[in-house]
Structure 1
Amino acid sequence: MGKSVYKVRPNDYWRIGEHENWFEEMAAAGLHLKKLGRMFISFKKGEPKQMKYRIDISIDRKISDDQLEMYAESGWDYVTRDKFFYVFSSPVEVNAPELHTDSAEQSYTIEKLDNKLAGNAFFTGVATILMIGMLSAIWFLEGTPIYVLIEGWAIQQTILAAFIGYTAYTSLRASFSIRTLRKNLMEGKPINRHATWKSSDRLRSAFVVVFTIIIGLSAVIPIVQLVKNTTETLPEENIDLPIVRLADIERNPDLIRDELGYMDDGVDWGNRYTFKWGPFAPVQYETDEGGLVPGKMWSDGSGRYSPSVHTKVYQLTIPTMADSLIADLVKWYQFDENKEDYVEMNHPNLDRLIVYEEADMKKIFASKGKGVIFVRYYGDADTNTIVDEIEKKIMLISGSENISENEDK
């Protein structure tokens, strides 16, 4: 025997006759079955030989040495196994008798497999329905699927749900196929050992392998997010980040920082910036900043003047997603306001600009190229001042430049 050769394993593992025929075709081509894996089947190169292969099922226990010895005496050599499927081979010239000569009796060997597959189909089906319900709430409850996609909250879970859904589908097919096989055996109809694999079957199996690899790669997404996502206290001085600062909006030399925010792990969450990464927006910033102007009161006399600003910044991987993200951000931050109060305005240097104003609170949504910025501001600065600052910052992320967290520091 020579070196090993690996073939994609057909994912329809319950198709016993097709597997047996395929192994025989491989042996005739000089590839002899060596081992069954979850995704691949390994063969060893050797001389072409006419072989017969048979698959036996034992779901409760491992086939005993006595039974293996009995099979060997009948001309059947044990080759390999996968869970409850045991594969035996025999040269054609030996003319070995069948492992099971009575089809009706053989049907009882797969009764428990039939029940097990039915149970698997039920539980994976229920799991799929529950995950679809949960993910539907995440993606569509607020009507902001693009915002959810950009933030990257549920990408990995959605891919995993798709995999579980496909598993439920294959489990259901397996259950029906084994039940049909069992019924045929009980009626005295033997397994069709001349059935062959269609090219579409092998393409579907290859798809499952590729999809499984994608599942594995998707598991990297939350790890990268965990590693790259950081939160730090905003320095009082200006830093080279594409975020709108409170001092730039207020333009008041008497402005000081309001340091009465929540402190945790050395971070002032009232004056912080968070860098986040996602596959559809590799550069994301979220900031909060609060200030005070000594001696100044709110215009309605409600207390000392304490302006604040909250910003969200995105540099998108796909610029055409900007309009949809703007629409979803408006929905996300709309709260109880009337939709008509969110006014779309023309701006010569911005692709899109939406403004909401109410007393001392303003919300501004802007996009240019692959850059999107949202600003929510409490204070008495006018809207044009905020838009001017957004215009300056969005230029840093609207083109092909990539701003990394490390470079910014």
Structure 2
Amino acid sequence: MSAVAPSGRAPFDAAVTGIGMVTAAGVGTAATWEAVKEAAATAAREVPELAGMPVSFACTVPDFDAAAHVGRRKAWRLDRSNQLAVAAAAEAVADSGLDPSDWDGARVGVVLGCGLGGATSWEKQYDALRDGGPAAVSATLIPMLVPNMSSGYVAMEIGARGPNLVTATACASGTTAVGTARELLRSGVCDVVVTGGTESCVVPSISTGFSQMGALSGRREDITGASRPFDVDRDGFVLAEGAAVLVLERQADAEARKAGIRARVSGYGASADAYNATAPDPEGSGAELALRAALADADLAPRDIRHVNAHGTSTPLNDRMESRLIRRVLGDRPSVTSVKGVLGHSLGAAGAIEAAVTVLSVEHAYVPPTANLDSQDPEIGLDVVAKEGREAPAGPAVSNSFGFGGQNAVLVFTAA
């Protein structure tokens, strides 16, 4: 790499030293990685709370015991999105080998992405207000629903007293958080940043809102085949919940303590479409700004990218736009996958989950397949990995995220 990247700044690598995940595949990074590698079907389930709604299935975290992960006395005070974040952060910090009792908490930051905040608590407490009046509403409603509490609770658990914030860029929130965390390291403000994203909004109002927009898959008779990114028969995404957290450190610091570096965050770019509130720019011109900025930040050329972890929502508009973007900037060389075929779309957490999977792909030189891709849409024109995973150098790799409001964010990962 050159001393100064085309972006005008010196290249900077943030070492990923820890990963934690809680997804529809299960609790823990290993469960998610194995499910994504197998890519047998969408991890969708009928959700009792969605009974009678236009779409009654979603990708929810199975067998999550909040009391076991955050403590029985704390669990009832935390929205489910916060519980998932705390559980993922605990795994990530343990995986990093760092000991919160030994670090300087003032030099440790927390940056998480979240699109909707405590939607589960909000809806539950609204029902309480409607049915039982003001006296039935919990005094903890506000701290349960405000989006920043996910990073706040994680900081309380690990004694992180540095910058603490939540990014809200819709379905790009988790990716924006990781990019922001890297900047805190680059600027020298922090020595360690715990970053990622969380979301839990599988509730009637949110599900119905997306359904009314025509965004959700309507495959009621085939819910395990409902999320099918890049497939000619895709008809919408499957709503999901989950969380993923990465521990980032400066490369030199991680090497000095002989940490296991799983991969490096080497580039980040962000942009806006300035086009439409919910639909992406059909040509992806706004997203192209983010992708090219991330490549410049990493001091890499388009031909250097070997793999793309796509936003790949399984919606007709997104998949078509993203394929045009990838072909135009990166060509048809990189392998492409979308984990939403297995895990569904967890909105503000999606970018963080996909960043974690991209780290694992780079680390293990393995590209997992896209689930339910039976017949690739001829308009896609990409090397989308399907049916079976591929053992091949997976880095450098990019992870794309796009969201309502024309939000675009892209990360570049390289091997340790």
TM-score normalised according to structure 1 size: 0.20
Work out which of the two has the higher radius of gyration on C-alpha atoms and give 1 or 2.
1
Higher relative contact order (CA 8 A, sep 6+): 2
Choose between structure 1 and 2: higher strand proportion: 1
TM-score normalised according to structure 2 size: 0.20
